Amino acid sequence: MAGASAEEEPLLVPSSREEDNRLQAQSLILETWLESKKMWKIAAPSIFSRLAMFSMTLLTQAFAGHLGDLDLAAISIATTVIISISFGFLLGMASALETLCGQAYGAKQYHMLGIYMQRSWIVLFLCSILLLPMFVYAAPILKLIGQSTAVAEQTGLVAIWLIPLHFSFVFQFTLQRFLQCQLKTAVIAWVSGLALLVHVFVTWLFVYKLKVGLVGTAITLDFSWWLSVLGLFGYSVFGWCPLSWTGFSSQAFVGLWEFFRLSVASGVMLGLENFYYRVLIIVAGYMNNSEAAVAALSICVAICGWESMIPLGFFAATGVRVANEIGAGNAKGARFASFVSVLTSLVVGLFFWSMILAFHDKLALIFTSSSSVIAIVNELAELLAFTILLNCIQPVLSGVAVGYGWQAIVAFINIGSYYMVGVPLGILLGWLFHFGIKGIWTGMLSGTLVQTLFLAIMTVRCDWEKQAQKARVRMADSPAASDL
């Protein structure tokens, strides 16, 4: 009996270990499921609202595209270059709210959210004024860098009429982040969806029925974005956010310099990233058959931009989730939220990568009936697919950085990766080795790869406990909203 007991005893140990492993696996699956639910609660409405708002621009391009190649080239440059610079910089500046409002919400200092948003309005509005020359002098700037006179002048006309859209970003982005950090994401989706429906009708009315032409398409875009702003503003300040909105406060003017520094770092971080691939459209203007090349590149960038609304939704969700957990002092939760978000966004990226490759010859039909434009888009489909795949990973890693307030560090990484690696390599491949647009795009894709690797290393090596401690100190030192 003793011998039998001795023989059975070793069998009990691995059995116990197997049970422990099984329980740990079940626990990990459960934790992943719960975190995914929290992530999607923020990401899904954020993705929908971003897709809805971006779809307004795509619809405007699609309507303009059927007016002619010149009109398509003009509206494409105006929206995918000029507006994208404004969009990226002001969106990035607004992401400072994801850090500050997210951490304040996690620390249960709800009154700080409204004060932070008012500070952001002040800072973003002043910066939006500084960006106005880009719209006013769009035509001479484009001529100076080599765009054809016809395209430059038509684009300059559209840019002037898109100035109201430019100013709407100041309030649109800040209101969205104010509500996201409180997990009030459903209202953002509803307002964006309603604005999209109105935009479809108004654009159809102005372009096809009233035949107001290219300027009319710009006016409809202005109107629809401001409609969304008014909806979000009404919800935020008229009683639906009683804890976080306590009215206009003079405290919004305190600590503006510190807020300005974080906002500018955020703006540079996302602005450089958003503008990066728009360089391709400018370069296309130097090619033979430049109108078709610009139109084709604009379509590729528009598709990439449309799909990027999904990883940008995860960017927002990751920033909020990490900031919430860090603000609450839960370093482990912040780390796990980052892991789940990166994994989910990667799966989404693989799906769109396969879709682009499968329907490469039909991508341009939505925007144009020009055979030359369709042929160029077909040739660039593979590069577009891999760009989309890679761009699904790095925004989420940037979201981790936003959750911690690392915008300044990421801004330097973006400058080095994009403009010291990607652009020079693109010029080398495109002009010196005569690979044309494909060579330039391949070089720029290499820059994105370098940036992604740096962000991944930074995230893996992060001292999560130290970041949680810094957030606790920040919240403890600013009970009256006087410090950041």
Residues whose CB falls within 8 Å of the CB of residue 303, separated by 6 or more in sequence, listed in order: 356, 363, 384
Q: pLDDT (tens digit, 9 = 90+) per residue, 61-85?
A: 777 766 666 777 788 778 777 887 8
Q: What's the CA gap between 58 and 203, in Å, rounded?
A: 12
Helix axis angle, 371-379 relative to 290-327, nearest 10°? Answer: 50
Q: Which residue has the tokens 């959210």?
A: 113
Q: What's the CA gap between 386 and 94, in Å, rounded?
A: 28
Contact 443, 422 (CB under 8 A): yes
Q: Which residue has the tokens 């249960």?
A: 108
Q: What's the CA gap between 94 and 200, in Å, rounded?
A: 27
Contact 426, 443 (CB under 8 A): yes
Mean residue pLDDT of the chain comes to 81
Q: Output the six-digit token pair for 434.
A: 């005569």
Picking from 151-160, 278-287, 354-363, which range would have the lowest pLDDT averaged per residue? 278-287
DSSP-assigned letters across all residues of 83-99: HHHHHHHHHHHHTHHHH
Query: With 80 as the cut, is the pLDDT of residue 393 above it?
Result: yes
Among candidates 37, 40, 93, which has minimal Cα distance to 310? 40
Q: What's the CA gap between 246 and 229, in Å, rounded?
A: 19
Q: What is the Cα 368 distance to its own chain's centre?
A: 26
Residue type, position 117, single letter? M
Contact 39, 337 (CB under 8 A): yes
Q: What's the CA gap between 245 and 354, in Å, rounded?
A: 44
Q: pLDDT (tens digit, 9 = 90+) per residue, 111-137?
A: 899 999 999 999 999 999 999 999 999
Q: What's the CA gap between 365 and 299, in Å, rounded?
A: 10
Give 164 or 367, the one with higher predicted confidence: 164
pLDDT at position 6: 47
Among candidates 102, 101, 129, 125, which has minimal Cα distance to 115? 101
Query: With 50 as the cut, is the pLDDT of residue 356 above it?
Result: yes
Residue length of the chain = 484
Query: With 50 as the cut, is the pLDDT of residue 8 above it?
Result: no
Going by the DSSP 8-state scheme, the letter that residue 4 receives in this structure is H
Dihedral sign from CA coordinates of 345, 166, 83, 262: negative
Give 268 or 250, the one with higher predicted confidence: 250
CA atoms within 13 A on the CB side of 395: 31
Q: Which backbone phi and psi does 462 adopt, to 5 degrees?
A: -65, 140
Confidence of residue 262 (pLDDT cuts 50, 70, 90): confident
Q: Output the six-digit token pair for 408.
A: 């300044």
Contact 73, 298 (CB under 8 A): yes
Q: Specify the 3-state DSSP secondary structure of 181.
A: coil
Highest mean pLDDT out of 7-21, 94-108, 286-300: 94-108
pLDDT at position 231: 95
Helix axis angle, 331-358 relative to 464-477, nearest 10°? Answer: 110
What is the mean predicted confidence (pLDDT) over 398-414? Answer: 76
Among candidates 304, 297, 281, which has minimal Cα distance to 152? 281
Contact 272, 55 (CB under 8 A): no
Going by the DSSP 8-state scheme, the letter that residue 359 receives in this structure is T
Query: With 90 as the cut, is the pLDDT of residue 187 above it?
Result: yes
Going by the DSSP 8-state scheme, the letter that residue 433 receives in this structure is S
Torsional class of 368: left (φ above 0), alpha (ψ -120 to 50), beta (otherwise): beta
Q: What's the CA gap between 120 and 186, in Å, rounded?
A: 22
Residue type, position 157, single letter? L
> Count of CB atoms within 10 A of residue 37's CB?
9
